Every structure is written in structure tokens, then in C-alpha cells.
Chain A
Amino acid sequence: MAFLPSLASVVPSAVPGALPAETTSVGSPALNISIFVGFVLVTLVVIIKVASGKKSAGEFYTASGGFSGRQNGVAIAGDYLSAASFLGIAGAIALQGYDGFLYSIGFLVAWLVALLLVAELMRNTGRLTMADVLSYRLKQRPVRIATAVSVLAVSFFYLLAQMAGAGGLVSLLLGVSGDAAQNIVIAVVGIVMITYVLIGGMRGTTWVQIIKAVLLIAATAIMTVWVLGKYGFNLSGLFQGAIDKNPAVGEKLLEPGVKYGVNMTTKIDFISLSLALVLGTAGLPHVLQRFYTVPTSKQARKSVEWAIWLIGGFYLLTLVVGYGAGALVGAEEINAAPGKANSAAPLLAFELGGSTFLGIISGIAFATILAVVAGLTITASATFAHDIYKEVIKKGESTSDQEVKVARIAALVIGAVAILGGMFAKSQNIAFLVALAFAVAASANLPTILYSLFWKRFNTRGALWSIYGGLISTIGLIIFSPVVSGKAPLVEGGPSPSMITNPDIDFSWFPLDNPGLVTIPLAFFLGWLGTVTSSEYNAQKYAEMEVRSLTGHGVAKALDH
């Protein structure tokens, strides 16, 4: 089982075990490891420098809103451009051409939802967690519990995908293989991440994300110029190179359909995925948490502006890097490498600049995973400590010190769960987890966020029906979809590409891999239905929320807490 290449194209996949001889000779593991260790040491020094002794809850979860819009925008890019973006999209473009590009566009356009509808109003009405906004004018306890459940679910799926990806990346980049070695690396990643979070809180984590974003974008820009230079800065020539090197796909690399156009199910599946991507981003809890790290809505706007420029710029570079890998490395070699599609960018780095450049790219890929998991952990622990412990268990009667203590313990537990989950999931095909996180965010979180910010009549029953309905329907449909069981084997008698690799086990009845097309409209409908069947309405609280959301009144004061 351990030798099965996973079909993950989005998340770096785990392929423990036998590495073909020619790939183990690519690059120098010692160099890769030392660059990674160097990154960890430098960022630790930065974290210790910026960490300021005792932390209030606001400091621990949001750095007391002390970042500028520009800093936060770079950090958002660092948080968002996960290994999936860097390795996954470049690899998808290298192998499937246009469809990989198509996929990246959804990730970018999604930011307009955050810019226009969510970021500023969230910043103005919330303080510490997403539930602050959702429970503002509704019944505190039930809405906080529901929101916390949904936030923890999204964070868990996302975290698991990243941690399992770390294991896969190891065999690819460090040349270590075998179960024990991979488990050790997952544990090391987890422990470093917990250290970042405990010492640095949100302030330290944000700086890690800023450093990582700068390194990642700079390295990708260098690769882009390098590739284009080889083709005389002629994009058309680069495409020709990719076509020539991949005769099996040929000209089809330049048009959509190689991956998503196979049949009607894959086509509808992609529409479903697009919907979840474009509406999910603005409902991802670790993204929303970042809007609290700036002092005002104007800075929140500026954060998203910067994030859009950087993320958009990055995906444009990825287009060149992806086709560059297709042209200079070739699909055959990429497919033969451990990690398959995910190895496209590292192999291109080796092709361009040898072991040293590969080492730099590998180190950055690790840094990427670290920064993303640290951001997720902060958000999940803030949700647990603030929404569950303080507001629900202690009914608001706990000090900031107690709350931070609980948040730290929560971070330790979440870190431990992530490490164990990553070890367990590393040989599983868990590519669907990132898509699942987006689908849950778009179904369970976004409808309630939009309704509470924009719909006067919205009330508690609507929120609960929408959150639980969105969450349960999304997870339920995934369980009964082909990603969990029942996909036909790629080769006769081979394993199924589903999570359950035994092709004889098949309990799927929902045809799509991505449930968003059903669950997102359903959650919006349930939010409406719950609201109109309940008479609850608090005019005074609605006025307070609306006035504050648009004028920013009370934000500065809230920061003193």
C-alpha cells in the first residue's frame, strides 16, 4: 500500500518507499535540509525579537491589530499561497496545461468577495474571532457553538491536508523515504509550528508568513525570468516548447478540457469546484482572522488590495513556471518522479540552477507548509479559547490570562492532533481535503457571514440552520461521493483512486467529487427558511451592528481590550 502513488494533484502527495534511482540523485538532501534549518532559525530569531513578553488574548489572536495594511496583505499572500498553490498548480499546468491555469483563476477572483463584501465590515464589527461577527445580533451561545464547530472543522481538514503534504514533500525533496523517516519529519514540522505559535502568537506567525511570502514570490519570479529568458521572452515560443515535449497531449495543452473536460460529470464537477473556490475563500477562518490584525477597515481594505496584487502576480508567474516545467523537464520525467505533479516546480528548479537552486526552492516549499499550519493553528485555538471556553463554558466570565492559557493548551492539542493526523493520513489520498475545506467554508460560513452583514431580518434560527445544514450536507455528500469510495481503478485490477483504495468497497451514490453546487445553494436556502419561520428580530442590535460596520465606530476602543 505504501508504494501507491497518490493521485493528489492539489496537495503534495505522499509517496513513501521506493524512489527511482535517477530521482534520488536529483539535488542534495543535505543542502535542502540546511536551507530549511536556516529558515527555521532565522524565523525563530525574528519571532523571539517581536514577541513581547506576556500576551493578552487580543495580542495572542490578532497581534492587537498592530500590523499595517501592507504588512498584512503580504502575510495574507503568505498564508494563502500554500504548497498546493506553489507545487500543485505549477504541476497541474505542466501536465494538463490550460486546466491548471483555469483552476488558479478561481483562487484569485475569490478575493473580490473578500474585498467588496467581507473584509472591511468584518474588521469593523468583530474583535477576536469570526463568531464575534456572526453572533453580534443573534443569540450568543448557540451561534458561537455552531460557528466554532464549523471553524474547527474547516481548520482540521485544511491542517490535515498540509501536514500529510509535508510527509510527501519529504520523500521528494530530502531524499528520505520510509515510514519512520517521514513520521519524524511530520513531527518536526508540527513541533516547529507549535513553537512558533506559542512563542510568537499572531505577531510572530504573521512575520513568518511575511518572510515566507517574500521568499516564495521572489524565487518564483526568478524562475519565471529564467524560463522566459531561455525562450527569448516569447510566451508563444515557450508554449511551443511545452507542446513539443509532450506529444501525447500536444496542442490540447493550450485549450481547456484535458482534466475537467473528460465527460459531463467532470464538467459539472468543475463548475461545482469553481463555485466553492470563489465563495469559499472569504469564508476561510484563517483568512478572516487576518483582518483583525490591522487597526481599521481602511487598513483591512489595503490588506486585501495588496493580497490581490501579490496573489494575482504569483499565479501569473506560475503560468510560466508550469509551462516551463512542461517544456524543459517534460511530462514523462515529472510523472516518473515521486510526488508526480508536485515535483514539477522543484524539478524545473534543478534543471535551471542545479542542486543549489533546487535546495532554495525546497527550503521555501517547507517554509510554506510551516507558515500555513501556524496560521491555521492560531485561528483554531483562538476559536476554542474565546468562543467555546470563554463565551460558552465560562459565560464571558474569564480573564484574558485564563483565556490565553486555554488558547496555548488548545494550540498544543491541535498541534498534536495535526501531527498524529498527518502521520495517519500521509499515505492516503487526501487531495480532496483542501477542496472539502473550501466547500465547507463556502457552505457553512459564507452564507451566514453575508446574511448577518447585509440582511436586516436575519436571525438565530436562520444562522443555525445555515451553518449546521451547510456543514452536515457538505461532509455527508463527500462521504457518499467517489472521492471516498467507488472510483473505477485506473488500470485493470489495480487500486481505486478513491480514499478507500479497495475497488470492491463502493458506497458512493453522489456523483460529484465537489458537493458545493448542491450544498452552497442549500445553505443559503436554509438560512432564508430558518429566518422567515422565526419571529426573532432585535432592531436595536441590528442598528448597532450596521452603524458600526459602515462607520467603524468603536473599533479603536476595542483594541485596548
Chain B
Amino acid sequence: MSNDARTRGDEDPYVAMQATDEFQELRRKFRGFVFPMTAFFLVWYFVYVLLSIFAPGFMGTKVFGNITIGLLFGLGQFVTTFAITFIYARWANRELDPLADKLGSRLDGVKEH
């Protein structure tokens, strides 16, 4: 099924869509956000786990009252998780959805499979 020689009009609509600049822009935007964000939260989580495992004394240092550094770092994991969720949802609603809807509707005439 070599279709190299075919003209653009005969191409599979998905292949054609995939090749458009707009689709590549959508793909680049999406990956440009989620990959670094994933790397960030995984690194931060494992830094936290490794500190807890290998530096329990440091994590047990009291900051005020019985509130320790470890507790603050743990609560920090909650804060970053909530923050990433909030930021991603807002960003995706604003940046991703309009572009995805626009490109998706362009394929509306296409039969499935």
C-alpha cells in the first residue's frame, strides 16, 4: 500500500490531517505541556520518597510545635498535585480544546474505519 505517489486529495483523511501544520501544532502543544509536567511531578515525588527513606532524621526535624519538615513536604505533595490538576485543566480548556474541536469537526464527513 505504497501511497507515496498519490496526490494529496486521494490520501487517507487521517494521514492528511496528521500532516497538517495545525495538527502538528496541537500535538506539539500537548506534548510540550504534559511531558515536562510529568517529569516534574515524578522527580519531586521520588525526591520526597528518597528523603523519607534515607534522611528520616532531617524529615523529622521540627519546624514549629510538632509540625515536622516531613509533614510539610508531604503536604507539599498534596499542594503540587492539586496545583498541577488545576493548572492543567485550565490550560487544556483554554489552549487545547478549541484547536482539537476545530480539527475534529473538519473530519466530520469522514466515515469511521
Binding site for B on A (CB under 8 A): 98, 101-102, 105-106, 108-109, 111-113, 115-117, 234-237, 239-240, 243, 251-252, 254-257, 260-261, 267, 270-271, 274, 278, 297-298, 301-302, 304-305, 308-309, 312, 315-316, 454, 539-540, 543-544, 546-548, 550-554, 557-558
B34 near A261: Cβ-Cβ < 8 Å: no
A251 near B60: Cβ-Cβ < 8 Å: yes
| Closest beta carbon of chain B to A549's beta carbon, Å | 10
Known pairs A256-B52, A551-B103; A546 contacts B18 (CB<8 A) = yes
User: In the complex, A347→B46 CA distance in Å?
Assistant: 34
**What 1/0 flags go to B50-82 for Cβ under 8 Å of A?**
101110110110101111101100100110011
- The closest CB in chain B to the CB of A252 belongs to B60
CB of B95 closer than 8 Å to a CB of A? no
If A117-B38, A255-B59, A540-B14 are given as contacts, then 14 extra A-B residue pairs at C-beta distance below 8 Å, sorted by A number, are A109-B45, A116-B38, A235-B67, A239-B67, A256-B70, A271-B46, A271-B49, A278-B45, A298-B97, A305-B89, A543-B12, A547-B18, A550-B103, A551-B107
A108 near B12: Cβ-Cβ < 8 Å: no
A270 near B49: Cβ-Cβ < 8 Å: yes
A236 near B92: Cβ-Cβ < 8 Å: no
A111 near B81: Cβ-Cβ < 8 Å: yes
| Closest beta carbon of chain B to A199's beta carbon, Å | 32
CB of B21 closer than 8 Å to a CB of A? no
| Closest beta carbon of chain A to B93's beta carbon, Å | 8
A239 near B30: Cβ-Cβ < 8 Å: no
A539: contacting residue among B15, B93, B108, CB under 8 A: B15
B85 near A112: Cβ-Cβ < 8 Å: yes
A261: contacting residue among B56, B77, B86, CB under 8 A: B56
B110 near A271: Cβ-Cβ < 8 Å: no
User: In the complex, A540→B1 CA distance in Å?
Assistant: 10
A-B contact count (CB 8 A): 168
Q: Which residues of A contact B86 (CB under 8 A)?
A: 305
Q: Which residues of A contact B74 (CB under 8 A)?
A: 98, 101-102, 105
Q: Which residues of A contact B97 (CB under 8 A)?
A: 298
Q: Which residues of A contact B64 (CB under 8 A)?
A: 236
B53 near A261: Cβ-Cβ < 8 Å: yes
Q: Which residues of B contact A302 (CB under 8 A)?
A: 89
User: In the complex, A111→B38 CA distance in Å?
Assistant: 11
User: In the complex, A108→B84 CA distance in Å?
Assistant: 12
B56 near A108: Cβ-Cβ < 8 Å: no
A550 near B82: Cβ-Cβ < 8 Å: no
A271: contacting residue among B50, B92, B104, B107, CB under 8 A: B50
User: In the complex, A457→B63 CA distance in Å?
Assistant: 51
User: In the complex, A315→B77 CA distance in Å?
Assistant: 12
B48 near A105: Cβ-Cβ < 8 Å: yes
A312 near B82: Cβ-Cβ < 8 Å: yes
Interface CB pairs A-B, < 8 A, 6: A109-B81, A111-B85, A254-B71, A274-B45, A274-B46, A297-B100
B89: contacting residue among A257, A260, A301, CB under 8 A: A301
A255 near B107: Cβ-Cβ < 8 Å: no
A102 near B52: Cβ-Cβ < 8 Å: yes
Known pairs A254-B60, A551-B100; A308 contacts B85 (CB<8 A) = yes
User: In the complex, A239→B67 CA distance in Å?
Assistant: 8
A278: contacting residue among B42, B70, B89, B101, CB under 8 A: B42
| Closest beta carbon of chain A to B89's beta carbon, Å | 5
Q: Which residues of B contact A116 (CB under 8 A)?
A: 34, 37-38, 84, 88
A540 near B12: Cβ-Cβ < 8 Å: yes
A255 near B41: Cβ-Cβ < 8 Å: no
| Closest beta carbon of chain B to A157's beta carbon, Å | 24
A557 near B78: Cβ-Cβ < 8 Å: no
A551: contacting residue among B15, B60, B104, CB under 8 A: B104
Q: Which residues of B contact A309 (CB under 8 A)?
A: 82, 85
A557 near B112: Cβ-Cβ < 8 Å: yes
User: In the complex, A235→B62 CA distance in Å?
Assistant: 13
CB of B27 closer than 8 Å to a CB of A? yes
Residue from B34, B53, B107 whose CB has the most chain A CB atoms within 10 Å: B53
- The closest CB in chain A to the CB of B57 belongs to A255
- The closest CB in chain A to the CB of B113 belongs to A544
User: In the complex, A113→B49 CA distance in Å?
Assistant: 17
User: In the complex, A447→B48 CA distance in Å?
Assistant: 24
Known pairs A116-B88, A251-B60, A305-B85; A543 contacts B52 (CB<8 A) = no
A112 near B81: Cβ-Cβ < 8 Å: yes
A102: contacting residue among B15, B38, B49, B82, CB under 8 A: B49
A540: contacting residue among B15, B48, B100, CB under 8 A: B15
| Closest beta carbon of chain A to B74's beta carbon, Å | 6
Q: Which residues of A contact B52 (CB under 8 A)?
A: 98, 102, 256-257, 260
Known pairs A108-B81, A261-B56, A550-B23; A254 contacts B49 (CB<8 A) = no
- The closest CB in chain B to the CB of A105 belongs to B77
Q: Which residues of A contact B71 (CB under 8 A)?
A: 98, 101, 254
Known pairs A256-B56, A312-B78; A239 contacts B66 (CB<8 A) = yes
User: In the complex, A247→B12 CA distance in Å?
Assistant: 72
Q: Which residues of A contact B15 (CB under 8 A)?
A: 539-540, 543
B66 near A236: Cβ-Cβ < 8 Å: yes
Q: Which residues of A contact B107 (CB under 8 A)?
A: 547, 551, 553-554
Known pairs A105-B77, A547-B14; A112 contacts B30 (CB<8 A) = no
